[in-house]
Amino acid sequence: MADELDRISLTLPREMVDRLDRLVDDWEYASRSGAARDAFREFFAACEWEADPDSRYYGTVVVVHEHEHDGDVAGALQTVQHEHAGIVLSVQHIHLSRHRCMETIAVDGTGGAIDELANRLRSIEGVTRVSVVVGEAAEPDGD
């Protein structure tokens, strides 16, 4: 953490403050500020990789989808993953319930390629959620 801290003020709806206070307590933060710093770090990381489409990143794309849908969701997901085989490292399929599944897709590629993959997955009918979590830029030689 930086030696110098700046104080800011936030205005939040009561419900968000209540949720924040519960998290501060449950996760044993020393203060709301500590929780807010962690939240801002996640927010900045999420924004930075999308703003840097040419740098290389590693991470996970999580896809939640309906199992029994009028279309071939599984086939469409597999097609998109094969079309992006250059960045897809592995896929894990998880049955959440009789009607809902989740896939975790490990990726290593440019921010632009990961974003394109995520957007293609979002466009598949029956997909209800796509979340992308990326780590720091991967080294150019893959180490």
Of all residues in the chain, the percent with pLDDT exceeding 70 is 92
Backbone angles phi, psi at 85, to 5 degrees: -60, -25
CB 115 within 8 A of CB 46: no
Q: Please report, for the chain, the start and end positions of each structural domain, with discontinuous segments joined by +.
A: 14-51, 56-137
Cα angle 5-134-48, degrees, rounded to a multiple of 5: 50
Which DSSP category does 79 fall into?
H
Tens of pLDDT, residue by residue over 22-55, are: 999 999 999 999 999 999 988 888 778 778 788 8
The CATH class for the domain spanning 56-137 reads alpha beta
**What pTM did the predictor assign?**
0.74
